[in-house]
Amino acid sequence: MTYKLPIIELAGSPEHMGETFGEQCREEIRELYAVRLEAAIRFAAGKGRTFRPEQVLGIARDCLEPTAAYDPVGYREFLGIARGANLAPEQLYAMQGLTDLRDVLGFGPPPDGVGCSSFIVAGDRAAGGQLLLGQTWDLQTDNMPFVRLVHRRPDDAPETWCLTLSGCLTLIGINAAGIAVGNTNLQTTDARVGVQYLTVLHRALRSRSLAEAVDSICQAPRAGAHYYYAAGPGGVAFGLECSARQAVRFEVASGIFVHCNHALSPEIAALEATAPTPSSSHRQQRLRDLLDSHPGPLGVEDLKRLLADHEGGPNRCICRHDVEGVSTNATVILSPSTREIHACRAQPHLGEWATRQVGG
């Protein structure tokens, strides 16, 4: 079976793009909201904490004010999606910010294998001498039907392509200035009421320089922890380990940098809710070994093949199938120098890959 990647086209003001997205995907958005609200409550229950839906939405509602203050432009699009989908803003926040909301509700070890594997391949190791970066995106399998490739042509901001879910802001993407961003999940004990990670990524993708993108991520009043990465067309990338309150930068101008779902810096590691899972540790080492040992420069097709690696077993491999309800839902490779995104829904050897160029 080959999984196709549906494409959504949006243009105009933030309000118009949001309303169009919400109206086009209304039923999908409302279905995904129900799936993710239940997932957040179930996660908290597994940590011995009981929440009713209205309590979860109350926490989400408290996050709206800092979100609007951090990114007023993105918040206008966010509200447009809510209107188009006939959801309250706090309901849309709960849907979009699942992993951050889970961290606010209760801490505990995530199921082994839940997570993503990301990479940065600098120009000295990449085919054509041009930096490449990207990741697998692993989460509950019931998210996979909602994976979309979204093309935005805003009135007053750079054009973008991003992989995300129905009714969601940016998850992994690239813009016309050659700024590329993505993320993997971390979990730290300083989660708080604040801005969810899709808003942080959406704001970063409006940046016209790498410095602006990095600063916008590091300075965000984040609700929860994530590892973010950002790169520009000049061949430099940054890995950004962020708890809710702290941020550590890794500059990557040469070689290979791999990051999965545990902190590499001592500052963020000290805040982690749990020790690294066997899956995260295995994927970190395995992906690094695969990239390091590859003969010659690494190209897009090489990366697609390596990200389909199954060594380590079903709970620990880079390419995860539906085991304990979790799968690799999507895979993305970004090329800032050519302004290209290569993306597929599902595992990289099963999904139908789409390649799009900003401005192309």
Q: Do residues 225 and 192 touch, judged by C-beta distance below 8 A? A: no
Please tell me the distance from the alpha carbon of residue 21 to that of residue 64, in angstroms, as a whole number: 20
Backbone phi, psi, residue 329, to 5°:
-85, -25
pLDDT in tens, 244-273: 999 999 999 999 999 999 999 999 999 999
Please give the chain's pLDDT, 360 residues, in tens: 678 999 999 999 999 999 999 999 999 999 999 999 998 888 888 778 788 899 989 999 999 999 999 999 999 999 999 999 999 999 999 999 888 888 887 654 555 556 899 999 999 999 999 999 999 999 999 999 999 999 999 999 999 999 999 999 999 999 999 999 999 999 999 999 999 999 999 999 999 999 999 999 999 999 999 999 999 999 999 999 999 999 999 999 999 999 999 999 999 999 999 899 999 999 999 999 999 999 999 999 999 999 999 999 998 999 999 988 999 999 999 999 999 999 999 999 999 999 999 986
Residues 6+ apart with CB under 8 A from 72: none
Residue 288 has which token pair? 């690094």
Q: Do residues 252 and 236 touch, judged by C-beta distance below 8 A? A: yes
Q: Do the bridges between strand 226-231 and strand 326-335 make them parallel or antiparallel, or are there none, so unpaired? A: unpaired
Domains recognised in the chain with CATH numbers: 7-105 (no CATH), 118-349 (3.60.60.10)
pLDDT in tens, 78-137: 999 999 999 999 999 999 988 888 888 765 455 555 689 999 999 999 999 999 999 999
Residue 123 has which token pair? 């120009």
Alpha carbon distances (Å) from 238 to 67, 185, 351? 24, 16, 28
Residue 58 has which token pair? 């109350």
pTM of the prediction?
0.96
